[in-house]
Each structure stands twice: as C-alpha cells, then as structure tokens.
Amino acid sequence: MNGWLLFVYILYANIGLAGIALLYWSKPWANRYNEWAVSIRERFPRLIEREGTRNAQRNYLAVLILIRVCGIFLVVNAMYGLLHAVGGW
C-alpha cells in the first residue's frame, strides 16, 4: 500500500471519528455553552440584557443543532473521502 494512501485513510477515519464525537457529545456541549453564556450575563448585567427561559431554550436548541450539523458534515465528508480514496466513486 502506498504511504500516501495510508495517510489519506487515517486522515478521513479521524475526520469521521471527530464527526461522530460531535454527534455524541452535542447535548453536553450545548448545555455547557448555555451555562457559560448565563454566567457571562450574570457577571456583566449592564453589558448584556438578561434573557428569559424561553430564549435560553432557543439558544440551547440552536447550539445543539449547529453542533450536530457540523458533526453530520464531517461524517459525510469522511465517508465521501474514503470512498473516493478506495476508488468506489
């Protein structure tokens, strides 16, 4: 096997694993981000207006969807790259 081809396989496998990790840990990361944003709002109340619980839930959902979309993009990109490297497409 060519050394370059082995590098490409390992690269796309790691990209796929990163995408799967984003999908798996998206809820805890979105929750931690939401908690961090709330702490910033509490620390600097004059700079940033306080939000209601409805807006906090929307922010959590938006971050969750964004992380999952990035994870899906990485997984699909890795699958396409691996299929292209193998010569299937």
| DSSP per residue, 53-67 | HHHHHHHHHHHHHHH
Q: Which domain holds residue 40?
A: 25-86
The answer as to whether 14 is a domain residue is no
Q: Is residue 37 part of a domain?
A: yes
**Is residue 15 predicted with pLDDT exceeding 90?**
yes
pLDDT exceeding 70 applies to what percent of the chain?
A: 91
Q: For the chain, what is the domain count?
A: 1
Q: In which element (H, E) is residue 77 found?
A: helix 53-86
Predicted confidence (pLDDT) per residue in 22-58, tens digit = 999 999 999 999 899 888 888 887 776 766 667 778 8
* 55 close to 80: Cβ distance less than 8 angstroms: no
Domain annotation covers residue 17: no
Residue 69 included in any domain: yes
User: Looking at the domain assignment, is residue 55 inside a domain?
Assistant: yes
Separation between Cα atoms, residue 34 and residue 53, nearest integer Å: 11
Identify whether 76 is part of a domain.
yes
CB-based burial label for 78 (10 Å; 0-12, 13-18, 19+): buried
